[in-house]
Amino acid sequence: MCLLHLTITLGEPWPDLLPSAQVLLRAQEELLDYSGIGISVLEMSHRSADFTKILHGAETLLRELLHVPDGYRVMFLQGGGSGQFSAVPMNLIGLKPGRSADYIVTGTWSAKAAKEAEKYGNVNVIHPRLDSYTKVPDPSSWTLSPSASYVYYCCNETVHGVEFNFTPDTKDVVLVSDMSSNFLSRPVDVSKFGLIFAGAQKNVGCAGVTVVIVREDLLGNALRECPVILDYQVQAGNNSLYNTPPCFSIYIMGLVLEWIKTEGGIKVMEQLNLEKSSMIYDIINASNGFYSCPVEPPCRSRMNVPFRVGRRDGDKVLEKRFLDGASKLGMMSLKGHRSVGGVRASLYNAVTVEDARALARYMERFLKEHQPAGGV
């Protein structure tokens, strides 16, 4: 939902409330008195009947929206996406003797996950960074090991803007995916996965809760040294209530899920995300090199569009002018990640088509005003 720092908002009145405002207003209305019970969700016991309803409600909605099959457990945990970088190997790398896992590395986040997993076993990195992350390597070039306990990939690399547009076929090897930044942005066939996780704060809520969907038969394989709060069997066995869960974040996620359902579900989100991202990529493609996105077209993310302004490696002066101008129009957080620079448009579910159109218009105007006479 990118509730605070990632929403593109505009300094003009809107005919309809923005998605984030719909959720925030509902939370505001219910803040002091949740559903007539006289107290706030912030004050409830996590074992109360009222919170149990909130927790079940969120899980039920998530299962419905994503068509989670029977035989999968849904957990709401703490520790963020980064916590799962540790939890995944600690729970799954011991599935087979030899403690090994294959990691397909396509950007910052999968690289971090692979590095963390190296503490717990043998990690075979597919596509280590040679110069930069600009694509998903062709699956025919992957050297997957049949004896790996699992294959791991990041479905959408938030910093580099590289997104998988297919689900890897790993034969009988368990497939694990970090979907933190494109969760519920497009349909996913959960049955192809052993485990999916997603921190809520990018696309389905606010910071504090991480969704973990895991196939039941994979539970119970944690390494001895796995901390109990990261042990999937313990957490699943206690319905995410082994210890106090992030109650308010789960409640907010429930409201976001309700909003997605009201809008028509994940297929509708996908159409909107396609429309929004195409608008931006079309302008980049037609700009004669004034704007450039380093990512190869089939792997370009619908969620995060990184681009440079003025030159392929970015004209610092023009990029600053671009960001300052955007900021004056109320478009926030367009600055590229500090590790790569440039500009990045994050087009999460809560960003509307109108928001994306406003950015597209601004890009066109900026191009007209700054394009060198003879092209770039």
Ligand X SMILES: *Cc1c(COP(=O)(O)O)cnc(C)c1O
Q: Is 82 in the site for ligand X (CB under 6 A)?
A: yes
333: left (phi over 0), alpha (psi -120 to 50) or beta: left
SS3 content of the chain, % helix, strand, coil (to 5): 40, 15, 45
The one-letter code for the residue type at 107 is G
Residues contacting residue 159 through CB under 8 Å, at least 6 positions apart:
107, 108, 109, 304, 306, 337, 339, 340, 344
The verdict on 81 binding ligand X (CB under 6 A) reads yes
Pattern 98-127, binding to ligand X, x per CB under 6 A?
A: -----------x------------------
Here's the x/- map for ligand X, 31-70, by CB under 6 A: it reads as: ----------------------------------------
Order of strands, edge to edge, in the sheet holding 122-126? 72-77, 210-215, 195-199, 174-178, 150-154, 100-104, 122-126
Which residue's CB is nearer to ligand X, number 7 or number 180?
A: 180
Report the residue from 101, 148, 154, 174 that binds ligand X according to the rule CB under 6 A: 154
Contact 337, 305 (CB under 8 A): no
Listed ranges 41-49, 74-82, 122-130, 214-222: which one lies at the site for ligand X (CB under 6 A)? 74-82
Q: Is 202 in the site for ligand X (CB under 6 A)?
A: yes
Residue type, 314: G
How many Å apart are CA 273 and CA 267, to the nearest integer? 10
Minimum gap (Å) between residue 249 Cβ and ligand X: 11
Question: Interface mask (CB under 6 A) for ligand X, residues 248-267, using x and -?
Answer: --------------------
96, 102, 109, 231: the catalytic one is 109
Q: Which long-range contacts (CB under 8 A, 24 or more apart) does 48-52 make?
A: 51/247
If one asks whether residue 186 binds ligand X (CB under 6 A), the answer comes out as no
What is d(CA 265, CA 28) in angstroms, rounded to the nearest whole number? 24
E strands of 167-262, at which residues? 174-178, 195-199, 210-215
Beta carbon nearer to ligand X, 58 or 87: 87
**Closest separation in Å from C-beta 367 to ligand X:** 29
Min separation Cβ 136 and ligand X, Å = 14
Listed residue (248, 210, 235) closest to 51, CA to CA:
248
CA 242 to chain centre: 25
259 is catalytic: no
CA gyration radius for the chain?
21
Give min distance, CB of 230 to ligand X, in A: 13
Beta carbon nearer to ligand X, 9 or 249: 249
DSSP summary character for residue 78: S
CB of residue 181 to ligand X, shortest distance in Å = 4
Tell me how many residues contact ligand X (CB under 6 A). 11
Stretch that binds ligand X, among 164-172, 173-181, 341-349, 350-358 (CB under 6 A): 173-181
202, 231, 259, 276: the catalytic one is 202
Asked if 306 interacts with ligand X (CB under 6 A), we say no
Q: Applying CB under 6 A, which of residues 80, 265, 325, 341 lies at the interface with ligand X?
A: 80
CB closer to ligand X out of 193 and 290: 193
Closest residue to ligand X: CB criterion: 80
Closest to ligand X by CB, 246 or 310: 246
Tokens 């996590």 label which residue? 46
Residue from 360, 372, 375, 354 nearest 13 by CA? 354
Rule CB under 6 A: which residues touch ligand X? 80-82, 109, 154, 158, 178, 180-181, 199, 202
Active-site amino acid positions: 109, 178, 202
